[in-house]
Copies of this chain bind each other. A is one copy, B any other.
């Protein structure tokens, strides 16, 4: 218990209130982390009440009249400061959050939370039975609530813009459509060529067993070598891997093991470590403010995908990684050299499941969800017709037959809580390639460093260009500052074309 001490300025008092909001939010994050890692089954009911109370108090405090007044007064206090100063950024970004938050009625927020909680078991049941029609009523409500959320937030062109604005400032629906059209134009033919040369990559090593206890400690050693700071973090097990932050000194990852190299935690640990190194790199001066966060979902995902794929599935990385992996798991790696492992880790295999997708096909999974979501929101598609719309795109983009519902529109949990949460995954891929290309120019011998296991130059460049800024810069501003260009698809397309030409000779 501390007595609030302010310096008499509106900004000082604003920082105090935002600090409390951050404390409440992070406490809720810890409760969620515990729920996913250690909570006994009996704890579910009270944990829900605790999360609800913390969420509501944080929302009430952020949207209070006091914060509105403080923002007005603080705006004049920071007038004249550089736009990228901590103080000016704090007022600007908090103003954006505040304006968005106050537009959404508390009753709608509560309705959405309640609907999500009720939809979750319905989705689990529908998925278990592989029957979209069981989930359809919940989905109708998700679409309806998303539409009402969009109307409450407001938008200029298209309702989906409003949903995007919550996670991806700078990005509109029309712009995403253009990015996806560009990706589709390049990757559909690439994928066709790869399919014709499928025999060139032997991925059978992925099916070999990998000791699960040892894979866990090996993954931890690996991410610590990349730069994840264990003095300010830890690794635990959970059903679905995630990264969560309770402060600059406590950024945790979770992971899960699987019985084979292909199911193992190795690359998902690297993925989560990418998120975690981002959070560990945000300037401490931004702590306990809305600026202490990633610039957007897409920028956050760029960090996880950069380490997982552009580093972790790259040929230079394998030069360092293969001998270590082979030393830890000699039986699994028997007869497979660095080059063979690199090929296997990059095998292209169109499949139904987004989270298992390779680099080439991954964006298609996002694209088809985005197309369905926008069509639903704009009334161009009925909920009952989602499986058909899904199947059509799976056929067109991935060349696969219609999946069962459990491997189709019921595979992800996202639609239990809303629309608009997938786009960041693809933006992350694009941004990761842009950043990697720029890092390659900035750093004298990036591939040599990585091959030697020296990740500090790359991490240092990302710290400087991305991490330390937190949410001070918008995604476009951040990417343009780092690479000279706003978010675009070209570098990612060039990257996959070059990489998979080498792998598949196409």
Identify the A interface with B (CB < 8 A): 1-3, 19-20, 23-24, 26-28, 30-31, 34, 38-47, 49-50, 52-57, 59, 106-107, 109-110, 112-114, 229-234, 236, 246-250, 252, 287-288
Contacts and interface: CB of A to CB of B under 8 A. Distances in A.
B45 A3 contact: no
A414 B20 CA distance: 29
A23 B1 contact: no
Q: How many copies does the complex hold?
A: 2
A208 B413 CA distance: 53
Contacts of A42: 229, 231-233, 247-250
A110 B49 contact: no
A43 B232 contact: yes
Contacts of A110: 1-3
Contacts of A56: 1-2
B250 A39 contact: yes
A45 B1 CA distance: 14
Contact of A19 (B27, B44, B49): B49
B43 A246 contact: yes
Nearest to A247: B46
Contacts of A43: 232, 246-247, 249-250
A30 B20 CA distance: 18
A110 B2 CA distance: 5
B1 A109 contact: yes
B247 A40 contact: no
Nearest to A48: B2
23 contacts: A1-B55, A1-B56, A1-B110, A3-B110, A23-B53, A24-B54, A24-B57, A27-B54, A38-B236, A40-B231, A40-B234, A40-B250, A42-B231, A42-B250, A43-B232, A43-B246, A43-B249, A43-B250, A44-B249, A47-B246, A47-B247, A47-B250, A57-B57
Nearest to A236: B38
5 A-B pairs with least C-beta separation? A46-B247, A42-B249, A43-B250, A42-B232, A23-B53
Contacts of A46: 26, 246-250, 287-288
Given A110-B3, A113-B2, A50 B38 contact: no
A226 to B, nearest CB: 17
Given A19-B49, A41-B249, 9 more contacts: A2-B114, A3-B107, A38-B234, A40-B230, A40-B231, A42-B232, A42-B250, A43-B246, A49-B288
Contacts of A288: 46, 49
A50 B34 contact: no
A191 B260 CA distance: 64
Contact of A26 (B50, B59, B229, B250): B50
Contacts of A59: 1
A487 B288 CA distance: 49
Given A56-B1, A110-B1, A248-B46, A34 B40 contact: no
